Every structure is written in structure tokens, then in C-alpha cells.
Amino acid sequence: MALSRLQIHHFRNIETASLEPAAGLNLIYGDNGSGKTSVLEAIWYLSLGRSFRTHLAQRVIQYEQPQFTLFTRLSEGDRLGIQRQRDGDNDVRINGERPQRISDLAARLPLQLISPESFALLLDGPKARREFIDWGAFHADPQFIGVWSRYRRLLKQRNQLLKQKAPQRQIAVWDSQMAHYGDWLTRLRSDWVNSLNGALEGIISQFLPDVPIRVSFSQGWDARTPLELLLSQGLERDIQLGYTVSGPHKADLRLRVEKLPAQDNLSRGQLKLLVCALKIAQGQVLGQQQHRGCLYLVDDLASELDKDRRTLLLQQLQKTGSQVFVSAIEPAQLAMVPWDKTFHVEQGRITEQ
């Protein structure tokens, strides 16, 4: 899977652009503020229906324009398009039709982002790591999105009743369904993490050969206690606090070096390589399970990495056989691999070199 054409109109500082990227390695370079990261952001928007740089959609619309428009044609033939109005209206199309869910975009265009902010996967709380797990489980099993959505709705309903301090019998009515969908969600997540470990081991041996990293899945509560019993036993406490303390919404991916969390034992450069290993392994698992590629976006690859580590990362990305978009200030920073196509960005204007 790859983008065969990308069209961008009135997005950030890009007035209009039309690219025909290569199926392999694509380098996008230019000065800071030129718009190179905006190209990656546009691709991300076409997959997720949102930006990775801001939660305010109006900020990505070019100044004094009423809307932005993004369009891509995939190598498999699918056509994806998004138009976002300044007043908030959002028009999403897949092959000319409105999808039932925004997640249908992600199903057609699976991608991974590696950026300076990717450190959040290791340094922030468990939410980012749950999202990482859920990305993999979503692409691995078509039932996942339904199970995940159902559990979230049940959790929201239970928490509302807890805040209202509703009678225990009324709250307990939801516990059986929560346990059913919570156990199902946990099995899907656990199965995916188990599949990740095989791919991750090989990549880590290349990136961090002398670092004994262990990856494990924490389901969000003591595995020795059935979830329905746990919800029942903790009901009085949950009522006092006003929210559900334990369950799949507290799941986490644990990464340790010996007995310490990886973030406490690795340098910044090593942490970035570990994040890259996780992202590449995630794409490899998708290829093994679904026989389809994952697209990689790498923003500011040179940040935090010396020349040897940049070379190692680019070589690993090249080995995936996937379409890759890398942004940089100077091409000389990344001259250690042959690029299939190179694009220069200057003040929002994009030209193929």
C-alpha cells in the first residue's frame, strides 16, 4: 500500500501542491517553517481525520481561506478525500462515498509517525501506550473497533452513575456487560502484544544489541481476579471516588531494562531508537497478519540521532519495503541511503528535484 498521488490545497502555508511520491523512500527537505512537516501532517490527516500538531482544526486552514482540501489516490486504487470548513463542517470521502465511521480512513491507510514528540510513548502516562496497542489490535482484528467502542460507552455510563452516587443495584446492572466486553477487549490486546514481541525482538537486536529490553502487557487489573468480581468488590470505593478505578481503561505496555523502566535506564538517543523499533515492529506485524504494507512518516529524523544511528534507522525503514516520507532541513544530513524521490519545500511551494 502506498500513495500514488497526493493533492493539498490551502493547508497550513501550502496554497496548492500535487505530488506523485515514490513507493519507497521519499525525502522532503526545506528550512524550518517552509512547510515540509505540513506535508506529513496532510498525509496523517487523510488517515486519522485530525492533525498530530494541534487539536484546533481551524489552525491548519490557510490564512483567509474558507477551507482546506486533501486528496490521495492509493496504489491499490482507493481514493480518500477530506475537506474541512472554517465553520467546522467536515466532508470525508472514500471512493466518493461518505464512510460510516472516521476509522474507515485508518483501515484504508495504516501509517506510523516517528517525530520528536514520539518520546511521549515512553515518557508520558499509559494513555499513549494504550493507543499504540489499540492501533495494532484495530488492524489485526475487524471486531476490535466494535468491542472497544462498546466498552468505552459502558464505562462512560457507569462513571456517570458513580458521579451521581446512584444506588449500587442500579450501577451493578452494568458490571456484567462491562466485564464481558472488558475481557474481550483485553484478549484482543494481549494477543496483539504477543505477536508484537517476535517482530520487536529482531529489530531491537539491531538497534540496541547490548540492551536487555523486556516488553510485557499490563491489562489494567490483577489478572488473578475476574473483572466482574473486581468491579463488584470495588463498587463502594468507585462510588466514593466517582469513577471506575480498575479495568481495561488502565491497560499499559511495560518496557523494562533489567528491573527498571526503559525511560530511566536509556539515553535520549537510545530512547528514540526504541520508539522507532516499536513503530517499525508494529508495521511489520501488520504486514505479517494482513499481508499489506504500513506507511511511515518520519519528521525531523536527524533530531537526537548521530550519523551512525540515522544510517541504521534509514536502513531498517528501507528493509520494510514500505513507502516512507522523511523530512529534514538539509539532504546532506541523510545522504547515507539512495532516495527514490526528493522534494524541496520553500515557503509552501513543493518541487520535485
Query: Residue 185's pLDDT band (boundaries 50, 70, 90)?
Result: very high
State the helix-helix crossing angle for 175-207 and 126-140, rounded to 10 degrees: 90
For 338-349, how does the pLDDT look when each residue is reduced to its tens digit (9 = 90+)?
A: 999 999 999 999
3-state SS record for 27-67:
EEECCCCCCHHHHHHHHHHHHHCCCCCCCCHHHHECCCCCE
Q: What is the pTM of this model?
A: 0.91
Cell of 345: 519545500
User: What is the per-residue burial (b if ≥16 Cβ within 10 Å, else e) of 107-125?
Assistant: ebbbbbbbbeebbebbeee
Is there a binding annotation on residue 32? Answer: yes
Q: How far apart are CA 176 and CA 285, in angstroms?
A: 33
Give the model's pLDDT for residue 202: 84
Is there a binding annotation on residue 197? Answer: no
Is there a binding annotation on residue 182? Answer: no
Q: How far apart are CA 223 and CA 349, in angstroms?
A: 55
174-183, 197-206, 221-230: segment of lowest average pLDDT: 197-206
Query: Residue 153's pLDDT band (boundaries 50, 70, 90)?
Result: very high
Q: For the residues 290-309, what does the mean pLDDT come to? A: 84
Q: For the residues 37-44, what does the mean pLDDT come to? A: 96
3-state secondary structure (DSSP) of residue 184: helix
3-state secondary structure (DSSP) of residue 143: coil
| CB-based contacts of 196, cutoff 8 Å, min separation 6 | 136, 215, 281, 282, 285
Give the model's pLDDT for residue 210: 85
Query: Residue 194's pLDDT band (boundaries 50, 70, 90)?
Result: very high
> How big is the CA angle at 229 (ends 156 and 189), to the nearest 5 degrees?
60
Q: Provide the strand spans (E) within 170-231.
A: 213-218
CB neighbours of residue 104 within 10 Å: 17
Give the model's pLDDT for residue 309: 86
Is there a binding annotation on residue 238? Answer: no
Q: Are 325 and 43 in contact (CB under 8 A)?
A: yes
Q: Are 208 and 265 in contact (CB under 8 A)?
A: no
φ/ψ of residue 82, rounded to 5: -135, 135
Is there a binding annotation on residue 34? Answer: yes
- CB-count exposure of residue 232 (10 Å: 0-12, 13-18, 19+): middle
How many percent of the chain have pLDDT more than 90? 65
Is there a binding annotation on residue 30? Answer: yes
For 327-336, how does the pLDDT look when each residue is reduced to its tens digit (9 = 90+)?
A: 999 888 888 8
- On the question of pLDDT at 16 being above 90, the answer is yes
Shortest CA distance to 129 belongs to which of 221, 246, 218? 218
* Maximum CA extent, the chain: 68
Q: How far apart are CA 353 and CA 343, in angstroms?
A: 6
For 106-149, how does the pLDDT look when each residue is reduced to its tens digit (9 = 90+)?
A: 999 999 999 888 888 988 889 999 999 999 999 999 999 999 99
User: Average pLDDT of the chain?
Assistant: 92
